[in-house]
Structure 1
Amino acid sequence: MKINRILLNCRRNTALGGEMGADPVLLFFRSPVAYMDGGAWKQTSKPSAALLTSGYKQSFRPLNGKSMRYDIVSFKTSAADRQYISSMNLTQDIPVELEDDFVIASALRSMKSQSMHRGRHFSEFMELSMRIIFIALSDITDAPEIDPKEKIPRYADLRKVREAIYEDPTADWSVEETCEDLQISRTYFHRIYLEAFGVSFKQDIIESRLIHASELLKNTDLSVTAISETCGYDNESYFMRQFKQHKGCTPTEYRRRAKNED
């Protein structure tokens, strides 16, 4: 399996579809979208993923006048790859709604990070990451539908908190205020948040801010100091250490690589 391109945090206000080319594509929609199925327009209400087969002419549209937010991976497959995908019994060409998008989102972020500094095992890493995504999608297809609220207390409330963190990463997020809003104790909040998403409240805050920092480094001329402050860091050195742990390179090096890639 060869990865042609991987783009994260894309936004657009117009339909997406015909320009994607002939190779298979994986789309990870962070926002609800409308799509055509059986001659009728349908729409998602949650984050979703769509595996598009080679040459498929699907079209996706944003909803409610908001931008469509998505990640995209285009790849080439061998006969063995196609046999593997077929064996996974994956839903193809229409979006699959995700109750928890952590596995897929994390795999895509790791793939993007690896693409910025290709190591000796780059191809193997990318193929294994795609297989992890396929496994996650296959589990969703095969699993019986269970309302997450039946498994995890306050799941809907926790989901709203998490979505808000990624929508507004520069906000002054406070566990005390969040627990007060939810009217639960800190200990209980930390336990069910970790149970719901596999990461802590603090880890999601850090992750959201570093993603935002990456976008600012790539798309603006703001200094590293200004970006550090914008993303809520009082200590620039601490920001740089966290960024390097997250991306595998310094903010300055990330900016240089991003410009070279463009």
Structure 2
Amino acid sequence: MITVGHCGYDSRHRTRLEMRRPGGTPDYTLLLIKTEAFFRIDGKTLQTPPGTVILYEPSVPVHYGSVGASYNDDWIHFLPEDCDLPFLQDLKLPCNTPCTLSFTGQLSEYARMIVLEKNSEHPYREQILDSLMRTLLYSLASQLLSSPDEAMENKYYSAMNELRMSILNTPHKKWTIEAMAELVHISPSYLQHLYRELFGVSCIQDVIQARLKSARFYLRTTEMSIQSIAELCGYENELHFMRQFKKFTNMTPSQYRSHYLCEQQK
């Protein structure tokens, strides 16, 4: 069984972060980094873009941090039992080396589920965490082993991917087509065409889904008022938030919260 230790989802640092662990940790550490970062490895400093993943092995020196003033990541400490080490080794995941993926959204979703399950009291919590960790690691291995995405060869890919990571990371900002286009220095019409071509979804749809994802998370894990959650997720109008939430989930925010609480009590 894979035991999950400390973990966090969408951990935001508003000030510069630098993490040093000269002796490493006694377990594996998986980081899904959503902002620019640096890594100090074998005396060399590597700078990485948003969407970087690294798997540290036990007892390996750890030194990484933010490049800019803010930092955001998902992080999971885990330890397989001896009998499960062959599973991890067979995945042939590159360890102690940062890897940049074209999209980490699915991996981040698994991390979110792991954090929620870790904080639950289900009778089969450990078994569920084991299954989720295996799913996450299988998904990571699949992405690393797949052929490079043709989209990554587009000259605007790096800027567009950074824009998307910023949208998913800060959906509460006042995102407009014009503001997005200005960030990547292309026209609004070309932005919309290129965004869908590269990511298979419109930029506005990404904003909406990222806001609703955050809203669902806060509804499940806090007692904040609906109005406060709406504001926190970037909605200027509570009624607009409630209508949009119901359109995409078939439930009002209050119904969603009640439904989740009932499921937790079963």
Would you call these one fold, judging by a TM-score over 0.5?
A: yes
Contact 2:215-2:230 at 8 Å conserved across structures? yes
DSSP 3-state at the match of 1:16: strand
1:260 counterpart residue number: none
Change (3 A) 1:244 1:119: farther
1:224 counterpart residue number: 226
Q: Residue 67 in 1 paired to residue 74 in 2?
A: no
Shift of 1:47: 1.8
Shift of 1:55: 2.0
Amino acid at match of 1:169: P
Question: Structure 1: which 5+ runs fail to align?
Answer: 258-262
Q: Deviations over 1:27-60 (max 9, x none)?
A: 1111122212232122212321111112222211
Matches for 1:10-89 after TM superposition, within 5 Å:
10-12=11-13, 13-18=16-21, 21-64=25-68, 66-89=69-92
Amino acid at match of 2:18: A
DSSP 3-state at the match of 2:84: helix
Measured in 2, the distance between the counterparts of 1:103 and 1:95 equals 18
DSSP 3-state at the match of 2:62: coil
Shift of 1:7: 0.7
Change (3 A) 1:245 1:2: farther
Measured in 1, the distance between the counterparts of 2:53 and 2:117 equals 21
- 1:209 is aligned, of 205, 208, 211, to 211
Shift of 1:145: 4.3
1:2 counterpart residue number: 3
Amino acid at match of 1:126: L
Q: Deviations over 1:137-190 (max 9, x none)?
A: 32344345455244x79645643442342344234545698699432497x568
Shift of 1:234: 3.2
Shift of 1:212: 4.7
TM-score (norm 2): 0.71
Amino acid at match of 1:183: S
Greater Cα offset, 234-243 or 13-22:
234-243
Change (3 A) 1:139 1:33: same
Measured in 1, the distance between the counterparts of 2:231 and 2:40 equals 43
Q: Percent of aligned positions with the same letter in both sequences?
A: 16
TM-score (norm 1): 0.72
Measured in 2, the distance between the counterparts of 1:216 and 1:119 equals 20
Measured in 1, the distance between the counterparts of 2:148 and 2:244 equals 41
Measured in 2, the distance between the counterparts of 1:91 and 1:129 equals 20
Number of residue pairs matched by the alignment:
248
- 1:90 is aligned, of 82, 90, 93, to 93
- 1:192 is aligned, of 193, 197, 207, to 197
Contact 1:210-1:243 at 8 Å conserved across structures? no
Measured in 1, the distance between the counterparts of 2:202 and 2:128 equals 26
Q: Residue 139 in 1 paired to residue 142 in 2?
A: yes
DSSP 3-state at the match of 1:80: helix
